Structure 1
Amino acid sequence: MKTVFWTAFWTFMIDQVTKYVVVHAMALDALGRIDLLPPWVNLRMAWNYGINFGLLAGDSDVARWALIGVALAISGAVLWWVRREPGGWWQKFAAGLLVGGALGNVVDRLLYGAVADFLNFGLPGFDNPYAFNVADVAIFAGAIGMVIFTPSKKPS
């Protein structure tokens, strides 16, 4: 479980530091957009009140606290799963990514009422309307990793 803890810790820290630097130090919350390598790499401020791509968005306290509860429940379930169905190092690493990312987004919801999304990638002639953050990448990669790296039980 050390691998889970340390992966979650560093994922959480990287997520929170990047959000602080981009949103506050670079003032993306005031500027709204910063083009780094247009059109390929951009920063776009987006406050996400829902889940991925703004699904289930609702700027209400009920939605906010429900999503916090879901993220904490999923994190707890992942930790329970890893203890119950122990796999190798990669499974624990994936679990840490998922938990660290989920907790990073929980902190955003507690501090701001929404998740701070800012990473945006595009192509010439295509203006991508979506933004995400380090926690979102970690959650996605962790979920895929949990499926791939958790040993399957063969029916007896």
Structure 2
Amino acid sequence: MTPFRLGLLALLLTFALDQASKLWLYFGTDLVLTQPWRFGPYLDLVVVWNRGVSYGLFQQEGGLGRWLLVALSLVAAAGLAVWMHRAGSRLLGLALGLIAGGALGNAVDRAAYGAVFDFVHLHAGSWSWYVFNVADAAIVAGVVGLIIDSLMPERGRAKAAQAANPTDSAPSV
């Protein structure tokens, strides 16, 4: 599978899983009325409407901020798709697809509801992680993939060069 196709598959699966989980939890359960749902000492499902970006930064109460964040997400996803089309490794394609799919999933929430629906809360004792969703987890996994791919630049460049000029791999006589 080419890096672009793998990235596109990751984008579509991320978007579908993100939206399906949010729609089911919000409309298909009574989580809103009965939260939190505790799953052991470390995990709760809760309803949090995030009007900002990562970690709740840049909270937007007005319509202008909401639509600017939607536009920014769409532009970022388009840019990531172009980069994904040029990706030289499957890891890079996968990572970009995860990030773009997460960006689109959260953009749909902002456009539809004015905020992103977050619901997974991890905690231990007095330590508490921010509340997130499938899109957020995919974005984090994608960033980790970008970092790992960037630490292997020779492999990525060698594959890209070989794909661009396959006759260079034949030994000279």
Q: TM-score range by the shorter chain?
A: 0.7 to 0.9
State the AA in 2 paired with 1:4. Answer: G
Q: So what's the TM-score if we normalise by structure 1?
A: 0.87
Alignment of 1:17-32 (within 5 A): 17-32=20-35
- Report SS of the residue matched to 1:74: helix
Q: What's the CA shift string for 1:11-48, capped at 9, x where partnerless?
A: 111111111222222222333422122x2110121000
Are 2:47 and 2:119, in contact at CA under 8 Å, matched by a contact in 1? yes
- Report SS of the residue matched to 2:118: strand
**Does residue 61 of the first structure (1) align with residue 86 of the second (2)?**
no
Task: Tell me which residue corresponds to 1:137.
Answer: 137
Alignment of 1:3-18 (within 5 A): 3-18=6-21
Task: Tell me which residue corresponds to 1:40.
Answer: 42
Q: What's the CA shift string for 1:132-156, capped at 9, x where partnerless?
A: 00100111211232243256488xx
Give unmatched runs, 5+ long, in structure 2.
158-173
Task: Tell me which residue corresponds to 1:112.
Answer: 113
**Separation in 2 of the partners of 1:70 and 1:144?**
21
CA RMSD of the aligned region, Å?
A: 1.9
**Separation in 2 of the partners of 1:115 and 1:73?**
18
**Change in CA separation of 1:33 and 1:95 when aligned onto 2, cut-off 3 Å:** same
**Does residue 103 of the first structure (1) align with residue 65 of the second (2)?**
no
- Report SS of the residue matched to 2:61: coil
Deviation at 1:76, TM superposition (A): 1.4
| % identity of equivalent residues | 34
Are 1:8 and 1:99, in contact at CA under 8 Å, matched by a contact in 2? yes
Q: Which has the higher contact order (CA 8 A, sep 6+)?
A: 1
Are 1:15 and 1:101, in contact at CA under 8 Å, matched by a contact in 2? yes
Give unmatched runs, 5+ long, in structure 1.
none
- Report SS of the residue matched to 1:77: helix
Greater Rg by CA? 2
Q: So what's the TM-score if we normalise by structure 2?
A: 0.79
Alignment of 1:64-103 (within 5 A): 64-84=66-86, 86-103=87-104
- Report SS of the residue matched to 2:48: strand
Q: Structure 1 stretch 14-23 or stretch 101-110: which is displaced more?
A: 14-23
